[in-house]
Amino acid sequence: MTMPRIMFGGDYNPEQWPEDVWAEDMKLMVEAGVSLVSVGIFAWAQVEPRPGEYDFGWFDRVLDHLAEAGIGASLATMTASPPPWLSRRHPEVLPSRADGVTLWPGARQHYCPSSPVYREHAARLVEQVATRYGDHPALRLWHIGNEYGCHVRACYCDVSADDFRRWLRERHGDVDTLNAAWSTAFWSQRYDDWSEVLPPRTAPTFGNPAHKLDFARFSNDAILACYTVERDILRRHTPDVPVTTNFTGLVHKPIDSFRWAAEQDVVSLDSYPDPYDPRTHVDAGFGYDLVRSARQGQPWLLMEQAPSAVNWRERNAPKPPGVMRLWSWQAVAHGADGVLFFQWRQAAGGAEKFHSAMLPNAGAHTRTHREVRDLGAELAATAELAGTRVRAEVALLHDWPNWWAVEGEAHPAPLDLLAAHRAHYAPLFDAHVTCDVVPPDADLAGYRLVIVPNLYLLSDATAAALREHVDRGGTLLVSYFTGVVDGTERLHPGGAPGPLRDVLGLRVEEFWPLPAGGTIGLDLDGRQGRGLEWSEWVEPAGAQVAGRFTEGELAGRPAVLRHRYGAGTAWYLATRPDPALMRTVLDQVRAEAGVAPVLPDLPDGVQAVRRHGDDRSYLFLLNHGDTQATVALPSPAVDLLGDADRPTERVTLPPRGVAVLRS
């Protein structure tokens, strides 16, 4: 999908307001430069107040107003929150937790993803919406559902149990194969009949890890099936209208964004960084790089963000002046072709009435709305950015099944995979090195450096791809607790790192996790530091020792290893170096791989990212710091947000300042 400009707007919920407010909405949207709104997301109860009785008249008028104002609609299928009549008539659609507690109406997403009743009623509504609005002049794209898996990440009811057994039969074929895959000889868990298999409900102690991993896979597929049912209806009626749905939470554990992205025409993301966290923009960068990589670098949409404060944290700080603009431009720098918000007009009631909006309850003469209007004008003036792409020479590998598995129970120590990703990603971010975040089956041919943190679940196919990357001259960095099990949670014979032992030139004999909050001394070629969280007893088998532990039972033993393999080099970290030492390691590894930063020697707090078009590139400079910063440019460039008629060789950024430079 190609956007004519960087789209700008937000969620619009006119059903919450009397019609005499709508005219003011249209006027203020036009003045603010709004070009796209998500509309109808929570309109099911309004358009179908009783089963099979439809009232679309009011919604017709909403879309007509948008078309007259020249504002496009990201038109929702309206299925995100079923009306109360559905669960009253069909209580079997309600989801259950692992402990058997039913989740009732009164909030949203109160449906079992496997429920055929829910899917049937949702499909019937989507048919109505698609036939009625498929050729409406306001329609720009379809917005299917909303934030799938945000609240109901899995359902354990009897309906889901039947669907899980169906899924298992398709995956494993017969019960004997299932027993082998799940290692059910352990603890007398052998199944004799499919009817004996249940979801992993609350049990006396540790559940079967392979059972839980398959249920996580199934739960993702069950939710995805709800999406594809609606997607297929829309494509049948409007094959030329693109479809999307919005991922939530930057990186959302229940939903495999890589698998979902393949089923969409454009990827959308909801992003809510915490203003209290001084490094929250680094986490945002990771999420943006992942969602951009999910469709091989295709521009994506920032579907939701907060203009200021949210309502759902324990402490809800507003965004200070300039932060909303800075973070919006950060998304564009990382490849977004749309900047939208939740929501246009602040709600007067309900659970989100304290969530900020583009048009606050206090009205248009407010700081937030003035900043919104200014941002809309900037985005409208930079249409040439649309369609340009971000390029990277570094890839960080992320895998959802590994995430579900590595954070399981009965492990040597609890691990937080996203924390491991941040520890490896942040030094690249701080060094202004662009990084893709890719799945295990990604094409690695274009990358000089591939980083693999804590890939506990390692398949032979992924190992072969990583081996090929190194063999043909690439650089690989692998961190601890990698290559431990296969896709069925069975240990690789011979120990970790399993099928990567030859590439890494080592064998892990024992895991030595550190006490909670504990550290261990490290020496990296004379540079002293600390190892965090984890350590391992590693025996080199061809690898050279580049760093050693200096304390405890592991004193003198290898902590960082380097191995030449084929035409490339593989590195291994048997612990997580502290942030300063991790930066040293990553700087050394990427320099050896021939990876250069976008710009070197930038002031602290300034981020540099580049987007590329066919015949020109755009350099984004974003000052996340609280002091003014001056940046010398490698060649004269025009600042699209400043004096667009006069090239400059030096840019001064105020705190939270942004420059977008055309080279």
Q: Which two tokens mark 360? A: 């606050």
Name the DSSP class of 53: B
Q: In angstroms, how far is CA 599 from the centroid of its own chain?
A: 26
Q: CA–CA separation, 405 vs 221, rounded Å? A: 17
Q: Which two tokens mark 482? A: 């990698």
Name the 3-class secondary structure at 336: strand
- DSSP one-letter string for 184-213: TTGGG---SSGGG-------SSPPPHHHHH
Q: CA–CA separation, 25 vs 548, rounded Å? A: 64
Q: CA–CA separation, 137 vs 135, rounded Å? A: 6
Tell me whether residue 147 is one of the annotated catalytic residues. yes
Q: CA–CA separation, 246 vs 558, rounded Å? A: 44
- Please count the residues of the chain: 663
- Annotated catalytic residue, options 48, 147, 371, 489: 147
Give the dihedral sign, CA 238/242/248/252.
Answer: positive
- DSSP one-letter string for 243-307: EE-EE-SSS-TTS-HHHHHTT-SS-EEE----TT-TTHHHHHHHHHHHHHHTTTT--EEEEE--S
Residue 370: strand pairing partners: none
Q: In angstroms, how far is CA 649 from the centroid of its own chain?
A: 36
Name the 3-class secondary structure at 178: helix
Q: Which two tokens mark 276? A: 């209290």
Q: CA–CA separation, 214 vs 367, rounded Å? A: 49
Write phi, then psi, for 161 (nearest 5 degrees). -60, -45
- Give the 3-state secondary structure of 607-648: EEEEEECCCCEEEEEEECCCCCEEEEEEEEEEECCCCCCCCE
Q: CA–CA separation, 632 vs 656, rounded Å? A: 18
Pairing of strands 72-76, 36-39: parallel
Q: Which two tokens mark 147? A: 């934030």
Q: CA–CA separation, 38 vs 8, rounded Å? A: 11
Quick count: other Cβ atoms within 10 Å of Cβ 343? 25
- Give the 3-state secondary structure of 365-385: CCHHHHHHHHHHHHHHCCHHH
- Annotated catalytic residue, options 48, 230, 304, 378: 304
Helix (H) or strand (E) holding 566: none
Q: CA–CA separation, 398 vs 294, rounded Å? A: 11
For residue 647, give every residue at least 6 positions away whose Cβ sits within 8 Å of its Cβ, in sequence order, or none: 636, 637, 638
Residues with a known catalytic role = 147, 304
